[in-house]
DNA sequence: ATGGTCGCCGAGCGA
Protein backbone atom coordinates (compact mmCIF):
# COMPACT_ATOMS: atom_id res chain seq x y z
CA UNK A 1 0.00 0.00 0.00
CA UNK A 2 1.15 3.49 -0.79
CA UNK A 3 -0.58 6.57 0.70
CA UNK A 4 -0.38 9.67 -1.49
CA UNK A 5 -1.61 13.06 -0.30
CA UNK A 6 -1.89 16.55 -1.74
CA UNK A 7 -1.96 19.74 0.33
CA UNK A 8 -1.89 23.43 -0.55
CA UNK A 9 0.13 24.55 2.47
CA UNK A 10 -0.17 28.34 1.80
CA UNK A 11 3.47 29.10 2.75
CA UNK A 12 5.66 26.29 4.04
CA UNK A 13 7.48 28.75 6.31
CA UNK A 14 4.31 30.09 7.97
CA UNK A 15 2.86 26.58 8.41
CA UNK A 16 5.89 24.35 8.93
CA UNK A 17 4.86 23.38 12.49
CA UNK A 18 1.39 22.31 11.30
CA UNK A 19 2.95 20.45 8.38
CA UNK A 20 5.35 18.49 10.60
CA UNK A 21 2.55 17.64 13.05
CA UNK A 22 0.40 16.33 10.23
CA UNK A 23 3.23 14.37 8.57
CA UNK A 24 3.95 12.61 11.87
CA UNK A 25 0.29 11.78 12.43
CA UNK A 26 -0.88 10.86 8.91
CA UNK A 27 2.38 9.21 7.79
CA UNK A 28 1.80 9.61 4.06
CA UNK A 29 4.35 7.92 1.78
CA UNK A 30 4.17 10.71 -0.78
CA UNK A 31 3.05 14.32 -0.33
CA UNK A 32 2.36 16.80 -3.12
CA UNK A 33 2.64 20.36 -1.82
CA UNK A 34 1.49 23.62 -3.42
CA UNK A 35 1.94 27.32 -2.63
CA UNK A 36 5.13 26.78 -0.68
CA UNK A 37 5.96 30.46 -1.42
CA UNK A 38 9.73 30.03 -1.00
CA UNK A 39 12.73 29.68 -3.25
CA UNK A 40 14.38 26.25 -3.36
CA UNK A 41 17.19 27.31 -1.00
CA UNK A 42 14.71 28.57 1.64
CA UNK A 43 12.62 25.39 1.73
CA UNK A 44 12.80 23.81 5.24
CA UNK A 45 14.41 20.71 3.81
CA UNK A 46 16.18 19.46 6.95
CA UNK A 47 13.10 19.34 9.18
CA UNK A 48 11.23 17.32 6.58
CA UNK A 49 14.15 15.05 5.77
CA UNK A 50 14.39 14.34 9.52
CA UNK A 51 10.95 12.68 9.21
CA UNK A 52 12.32 10.34 6.55
CA UNK A 53 11.29 12.14 3.38
CA UNK A 54 13.18 12.76 0.17
CA UNK A 55 12.39 16.25 -1.11
CA UNK A 56 12.08 17.72 -4.62
CA UNK A 57 11.25 21.42 -4.91
CA UNK A 58 10.32 23.87 -7.65
CA UNK A 59 10.23 27.06 -5.63
CA UNK A 60 9.55 30.73 -6.27
CA UNK A 61 9.83 33.85 -4.14
CA UNK A 62 6.56 35.09 -2.56
CA UNK A 63 4.13 33.27 -4.86
CA UNK A 64 3.36 29.75 -6.05
CA UNK A 65 5.97 26.98 -5.62
CA UNK A 66 5.40 23.21 -5.56
CA UNK A 67 7.18 20.23 -4.04
CA UNK A 68 7.14 16.45 -3.75
CA UNK A 69 7.99 14.62 -0.52
CA UNK A 70 8.56 10.87 -0.63
CA UNK A 71 9.61 8.27 1.92
CA UNK A 72 10.75 6.12 -1.04
CA UNK A 73 13.41 6.89 -3.66
CA UNK A 74 12.37 9.92 -5.70
CA UNK A 75 13.54 11.10 -9.11
CA UNK A 76 12.49 14.44 -10.57
CA UNK A 77 11.22 14.08 -14.16
CA UNK A 78 9.92 17.58 -14.98
CA UNK A 79 10.21 20.95 -13.27
CA UNK A 80 7.65 22.76 -15.40
CA UNK A 81 4.56 21.93 -17.43
CA UNK A 82 5.64 21.66 -21.09
CA UNK A 83 4.59 24.29 -23.60
CA UNK A 84 4.99 27.28 -21.32
CA UNK A 85 7.62 29.43 -22.96
CA UNK A 86 7.58 32.72 -21.11
CA UNK A 87 5.62 31.26 -18.19
CA UNK A 88 7.81 31.79 -15.12
CA UNK A 89 5.32 30.59 -12.48
CA UNK A 90 6.45 27.62 -10.36
CA UNK A 91 3.31 25.52 -10.69
CA UNK A 92 4.33 22.00 -11.73
CA UNK A 93 6.73 19.29 -10.66
CA UNK A 94 6.64 15.68 -11.81
CA UNK A 95 8.58 12.79 -10.35
CA UNK A 96 8.90 9.04 -10.13
CA UNK A 97 8.73 7.16 -6.84
CA UNK A 98 10.03 3.60 -6.48
CA UNK A 99 7.67 1.97 -3.99
CA UNK A 100 8.73 -1.40 -2.52
CA UNK A 101 6.11 -4.07 -3.24
CA UNK A 102 4.28 -5.52 -0.24
CA UNK A 103 5.31 -8.96 -1.50
CA UNK A 104 8.90 -7.96 -0.81
CA UNK A 105 9.96 -8.59 -4.42
CA UNK A 106 11.10 -5.51 -6.27
CA UNK A 107 9.52 -2.10 -6.68
CA UNK A 108 6.46 -0.54 -8.24
CA UNK A 109 7.07 2.61 -10.26
CA UNK A 110 4.58 5.33 -9.32
CA UNK A 111 4.64 8.62 -11.21
CA UNK A 112 3.25 11.69 -9.46
CA UNK A 113 2.84 15.36 -10.26
CA UNK A 114 2.21 18.26 -7.90
CA UNK A 115 0.02 20.81 -9.66
CA UNK A 116 -0.82 24.39 -8.68
CA UNK A 117 -3.29 25.42 -11.32
CA UNK A 118 -3.80 29.19 -11.74
CA UNK A 119 -6.73 30.66 -9.80
CA UNK A 120 -7.94 32.71 -12.77
CA UNK A 121 -9.77 35.47 -10.88
CA UNK A 122 -10.96 38.02 -11.68
CA UNK A 123 -12.65 36.12 -14.51
CA UNK A 124 -12.85 39.29 -16.65
CA UNK A 125 -9.07 39.83 -16.47
CA UNK A 126 -6.21 38.32 -18.46
CA UNK A 127 -5.72 35.89 -15.55
CA UNK A 128 -8.66 33.82 -16.74
CA UNK A 129 -7.35 33.06 -20.25
CA UNK A 130 -3.98 32.28 -18.63
CA UNK A 131 -5.75 29.72 -16.45
CA UNK A 132 -7.58 28.16 -19.40
CA UNK A 133 -4.42 27.99 -21.50
CA UNK A 134 -2.59 26.37 -18.57
CA UNK A 135 -5.37 23.77 -18.34
CA UNK A 136 -4.96 22.98 -22.02
CA UNK A 137 -1.23 22.47 -21.52
CA UNK A 138 -2.06 20.18 -18.59
CA UNK A 139 -4.46 18.17 -20.73
CA UNK A 140 -1.75 17.70 -23.35
CA UNK A 141 0.70 16.42 -20.71
CA UNK A 142 -2.00 14.24 -19.11
CA UNK A 143 -2.75 12.67 -22.49
CA UNK A 144 0.94 12.04 -23.16
CA UNK A 145 1.35 10.36 -19.77
CA UNK A 146 -1.59 8.00 -20.30
CA UNK A 147 0.29 6.36 -23.15
CA UNK A 148 2.96 5.23 -20.65
CA UNK A 149 0.33 3.04 -18.92
CA UNK A 150 1.89 3.74 -15.52
CA UNK A 151 0.48 3.99 -12.02
CA UNK A 152 0.13 7.77 -12.05
CA UNK A 153 -1.38 10.38 -9.74
CA UNK A 154 -1.85 13.98 -10.91
CA UNK A 155 -2.55 15.74 -7.63
CA UNK A 156 -2.82 19.31 -6.52
CA UNK A 157 -4.78 22.50 -6.16
CA UNK A 158 -6.72 22.56 -9.44
CA UNK A 159 -8.62 25.73 -8.51
CA UNK A 160 -11.71 24.11 -10.07
CA UNK A 161 -14.93 23.06 -8.34
CA UNK A 162 -15.97 20.27 -10.71
CA UNK A 163 -19.72 20.51 -10.03
CA UNK A 164 -22.26 22.49 -7.99
CA UNK A 165 -22.10 19.68 -5.40
CA UNK A 166 -18.52 20.77 -4.70
CA UNK A 167 -19.46 24.33 -3.65
CA UNK A 168 -21.35 25.44 -0.54
CA UNK A 169 -23.15 28.20 -2.49
CA UNK A 170 -23.34 27.35 -6.19
CA UNK A 171 -25.38 30.42 -7.13
CA UNK A 172 -23.05 32.79 -5.34
CA UNK A 173 -20.00 31.28 -7.02
CA UNK A 174 -21.49 30.86 -10.49
CA UNK A 175 -19.34 33.54 -12.15
CA UNK A 176 -16.14 32.78 -10.24
CA UNK A 177 -13.17 31.42 -12.19
CA UNK A 178 -13.24 28.31 -9.95
CA UNK A 179 -16.80 27.45 -11.06
CA UNK A 180 -17.13 28.94 -14.53
CA UNK A 181 -18.21 26.48 -17.23
CA UNK A 182 -14.96 27.09 -19.15
CA UNK A 183 -12.97 25.85 -16.12
CA UNK A 184 -15.30 22.94 -15.42
CA UNK A 185 -15.30 21.88 -19.04
CA UNK A 186 -11.52 21.69 -19.15
CA UNK A 187 -11.46 19.75 -15.88
CA UNK A 188 -14.02 17.31 -17.33
CA UNK A 189 -11.84 16.91 -20.40
CA UNK A 190 -9.14 15.47 -18.09
CA UNK A 191 -11.62 12.91 -16.77
CA UNK A 192 -12.74 12.12 -20.33
CA UNK A 193 -9.17 11.23 -21.24
CA UNK A 194 -9.52 8.37 -18.76
CA UNK A 195 -8.57 9.81 -15.39
CA UNK A 196 -10.47 9.02 -12.18
CA UNK A 197 -11.22 11.54 -9.41
CA UNK A 198 -10.03 9.59 -6.34
CA UNK A 199 -12.55 11.23 -4.01
CA UNK A 200 -15.64 11.00 -6.23
CA UNK A 201 -14.80 7.40 -7.15
CA UNK A 202 -15.40 6.31 -3.54
CA UNK A 203 -17.52 9.06 -1.95
CA UNK A 204 -20.99 10.41 -2.70
CA UNK A 205 -21.71 12.26 0.54
CA UNK A 206 -22.31 16.03 0.47
CA UNK A 207 -19.98 18.72 1.85
CA UNK A 208 -16.70 17.16 0.76
CA UNK A 209 -14.57 20.30 0.83
CA UNK A 210 -10.81 20.88 0.78
CA UNK A 211 -10.70 24.69 1.07
CA UNK A 212 -12.42 27.19 3.36
CA UNK A 213 -11.75 30.91 2.98
CA UNK A 214 -10.16 32.62 5.99
CA UNK A 215 -12.87 35.28 5.88
CA UNK A 216 -16.38 35.50 7.28
CA UNK A 217 -16.18 32.38 9.45
CA UNK A 218 -16.28 30.07 6.44
CA UNK A 219 -14.57 27.24 8.33
CA UNK A 220 -16.88 27.55 11.34
CA UNK A 221 -19.92 27.52 9.02
CA UNK A 222 -18.46 24.71 6.87
CA UNK A 223 -18.74 26.93 3.82
CA UNK A 224 -16.08 25.29 1.68
CA UNK A 225 -15.09 24.29 -1.82
CA UNK A 226 -13.63 21.08 -3.23
CA UNK A 227 -10.80 22.31 -5.43
CA UNK A 228 -7.91 19.99 -4.49
CA UNK A 229 -7.98 16.76 -6.47
CA UNK A 230 -6.13 13.50 -7.05
CA UNK A 231 -6.58 12.31 -10.63
CA UNK A 232 -5.64 8.68 -11.20
CA UNK A 233 -4.52 6.94 -14.37
CA UNK A 234 -6.46 3.71 -15.12
CA UNK A 235 -3.54 1.71 -13.70
CA UNK A 236 -3.75 3.73 -10.47
CA UNK A 237 -7.56 3.63 -10.33
CA UNK A 238 -7.45 -0.17 -10.53
CA UNK A 239 -5.39 -0.10 -7.31
CA UNK A 240 -7.48 2.46 -5.43
CA UNK A 241 -8.25 1.13 -1.94
CA UNK A 242 -9.34 4.24 -0.05
CA UNK A 243 -9.46 8.02 -0.28
CA UNK A 244 -10.45 10.90 1.91
CA UNK A 245 -10.15 14.49 3.04
CA UNK A 246 -8.36 15.03 6.35
CA UNK A 247 -10.12 18.03 7.89
CA UNK A 248 -8.04 18.10 11.07
CA UNK A 249 -5.23 20.41 9.87
CA UNK A 250 -7.77 23.06 8.83
CA UNK A 251 -8.98 23.25 12.42
CA UNK A 252 -5.48 23.75 13.86
CA UNK A 253 -4.12 27.07 15.15
CA UNK A 254 -2.89 29.31 12.31
CA UNK A 255 -3.86 26.82 9.60
CA UNK A 256 -3.50 26.81 5.85
CA UNK A 257 -6.82 27.64 4.20
CA UNK A 258 -6.65 24.22 2.46
CA UNK A 259 -6.60 20.75 4.02
CA UNK A 260 -5.01 17.53 2.71
CA UNK A 261 -6.71 15.12 0.33
CA UNK A 262 -5.31 11.57 0.19
CA UNK A 263 -5.64 8.18 -1.45
CA UNK A 264 -4.26 4.69 -0.85
CA UNK A 265 -3.16 2.47 -3.71
CA UNK A 266 -2.43 -1.26 -3.50
CA UNK A 267 1.17 -1.96 -4.43
C1' DA B 1 -21.23 45.93 8.40
C1' DT B 2 -19.98 48.87 1.10
C1' DG B 3 -16.47 45.03 5.50
C1' DG B 4 -14.63 40.48 6.53
C1' DT B 5 -8.63 37.25 6.63
C1' DC B 6 -4.44 35.61 5.61
C1' DG B 7 0.79 35.63 3.64
C1' DC B 8 3.93 37.94 1.15
C1' DC B 9 6.80 41.86 2.92
C1' DG B 10 6.89 46.22 4.45
C1' DA B 11 2.51 48.88 -0.12
C1' DG B 12 -0.79 46.66 -2.07
C1' DC B 13 -1.47 42.27 -4.50
C1' DG B 14 -2.96 37.50 -4.74
C1' DA B 15 -6.02 34.17 -2.95
3-state secondary structure of A15: coil
Q: Which nucleotide is nearest to A63 (CA to C1')?
A: B8
Which pLDDT value is given to residue A146? 98
Alpha carbons A238 and A266: distance in angstroms, whole number:
9
CB burial class (10 A; 0-12, 13-18, 19+) of residue A81? buried
For residue A214, say whether its CB is under 7 Å from any atom of strand B.
Answer: yes
DSSP letter string, A35-96: ---S-GGGS-HHHHHTTT-EEEEE--SSS--EEEEESS-EEEEESS-TT-TT-----EEEEE
Q: Is the CB of A42 under 7 A from strand B?
A: no
At A101 the pLDDT is 96
Query: Is the separation of the CB atoms in A257 and A10 below 8 Å?
Result: yes
At A42 the pLDDT is: 97
A14 touches strand B (CB under 7 A): yes
Residue A118 CB closer than 7 angstroms to strand B?
yes
User: Residues A247-255: what's their mean pLDDT?
Assistant: 97
Positions of chain B reached by protein Cβ under 7 A: 4-9, 14-15
In this predicted model, what pLDDT tens digit does every residue of A78-114 receive, in sequence order? Answer: 999 999 998 999 999 999 999 999 999 999 999 999 9
CA of A66, C1' of B11: distance in angstroms: 26
Which residue places its CA closest to the C1' of nucleotide B14? A63
Does the CB of A11 sit below 7 A from strand B? Answer: yes
Strand partners, A116: A157
Give the strand pairing for A151-157 and A261-265. Answer: unpaired
Proximity of residue A121 CB to strand B below 7 A: yes
State which H helix or E strand residue A21 sits in. helix A16-26
Position A174 scores a pLDDT of 96
A169: Cβ under 7 Å from strand B? Answer: no
Q: Which residue is nearest to nucleotide B3 (CA to C1')?
A: A216
pLDDT of residue A234: 98
Instruction: Give the pLDDT band (50/70/90) at residue A73.
Output: very high
Residue A41: per-residue pLDDT: 97
Taking a C-beta distance cutoff of 8 angstroms, is the pair A52, A70 a contact?
Answer: no
What pLDDT is recorded for position A214?
98
- Average pLDDT over every residue of A173-185: 98
Nearest-angstrom CA–CA distance, A248 and A24: 13
- With bands split at pLDDT 50, 70 and 90, how would you rate the model's confidence at A20? very high
pLDDT in tens, A221-238: 999 999 999 999 999 999
Task: Among all protein residues, pick the one whose CA is nearest to the C1' atom of B9.
Answer: A62
- Rounded CA–C1' distance between A146 and B4, in angstroms: 44
A10 touches strand B (CB under 7 A): yes
What pLDDT, on the 0 to 100 scale, is given for residue A45? 98
Tens digit of each residue's pLDDT (9 = 90 or more) over A27-60? 999 999 999 999 999 999 999 999 999 999 999 9
How do residues A205-219 score in pLDDT, each as one tens digit?
A: 999 999 999 999 999
Closest alpha carbon to C1' of B1, residue: A216
Amino acid sequence: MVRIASWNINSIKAHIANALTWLRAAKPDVVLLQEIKVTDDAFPRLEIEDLGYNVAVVGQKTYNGVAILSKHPLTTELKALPGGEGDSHARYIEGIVEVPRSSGTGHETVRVASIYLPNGNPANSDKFPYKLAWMERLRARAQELLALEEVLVLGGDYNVCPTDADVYDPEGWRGDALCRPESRGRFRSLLHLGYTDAIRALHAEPRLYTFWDYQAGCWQRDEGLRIDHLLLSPQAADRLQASGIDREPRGADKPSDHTPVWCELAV
